[in-house]
Amino acid sequence: MILLKTPLHFFLAISVIIVISSFSKDDDGKKPETDPTVYYYIGEVKIMTPDSIPLGTYVALSKQTINKKESIISMQSISIDQKGETKEYNYIMSINDPNFVIRDVDSTYSGIGKLHGKAWKWLSWNYDIQYRNPVGRMVGKDFVSLWGLMVNKDFYGGDGKKLMHYHERHNFITKEQFEILYLQVLKGSSK
C-alpha cells in the first residue's frame, strides 16, 4: 500500500495513474480509438558542440499524425531560431513493428529505426538516418514522458566525426494552441 504522506506523493500517484491509463486500451470498447490520431507539440531544441558549447536554441511547433490503418506516422514541424527565421521539416515513418523506415518529404535524408514497447503505444524508439545535404548521419533516441516527447540525437559529418548534439523537449499542446501559434509564425515569417 502506498502511503500518501505529502502533497508531492499524492501528485506523483495521480500522475502515474494518468500516464498508465493514457497508454492502456479500454477493452470494454467504451473509449473508441480514433484513427488517425493527431498530437500537437511545442518544443525547445538546444544544439551544442560535442564538448557542450551552445550553438543555439530553437522553438519548434509540431503536428504528429499516427495512422494505424496505413502503418505510418507523419510529422509536420516548423522551427523558429533566435533571429525569428523559420524552417519547415516534414517526415514520414513507415511502420513494420518493431522496425520503421523514415524519410523526409524533400528527399534530403532517409534511415531506419526500432520501436520499443507495445505496438502503437511505444514509449521510445531509436534511429540511424543518412543525410544527403549536408552529407552526414544522425543517430538518436526519442522517448515519451508525462509532459510530451524528449529527443537526444547526434549529427556526424561525412568523415564520421561528431559535429553536433541536439537535446529537445516537446510539450503537448492543444490543436487550438497549435493553430494559433502556427498562424502567427507564418505571419511573422512572411514579413
Helices and strands, number each (H, E), in the chain: 2, 10
Q: Could you report the per-residue pLDDT of 45-85, keeping only the tens digit for each?
A: 999 999 999 999 999 999 999 999 999 999 999 999 988 89
Q: What is the pLDDT of residue 187?
A: 76
pLDDT band at 21 (very low <50, low <70, confident <90, very high): very low
Q: What is the pLDDT of residue 76?
A: 95
Q: What is the pLDDT of residue 134?
A: 87
Domains of the chain: 32-189 (2.40.128.20)
Q: What is the pLDDT of residue 11?
A: 40
Q: What is the pLDDT of residue 191?
A: 58
> H or E stretch including 48?
strand 37-48
Q: Could you report the per-residue pLDDT of 99-109, keeping only the tens digit for each?
A: 999 999 999 99
Q: Could you report the per-residue pLDDT of 118-177, keeping only the tens digit for each?
A: 999 999 999 999 999 889 999 999 999 888 999 999 999 999 999 999 999 999 999 999
Residue pair 131/109 in contact (Cβ under 8 Å)? The answer is: yes
> Exposed, middle or buried, 129 (CB in 10 Å: 0-12/13-18/19+)?
buried
Which cell goes with 186?
507564418
pLDDT over 60 (residue 6): no
Share of the chain above pLDDT 70, in %: 82
CA distance 42 to 33: 24
How is 111-171 classified by DSSP, letter by letter?
Answer: EEEEEESSTT--SEEEEEEEEETTEEEEEEEEEE-SSEEEEEEEEEETTS-EEEEEEEEEE
Q: What is the pLDDT of residue 147?
A: 83
pTM: 0.78
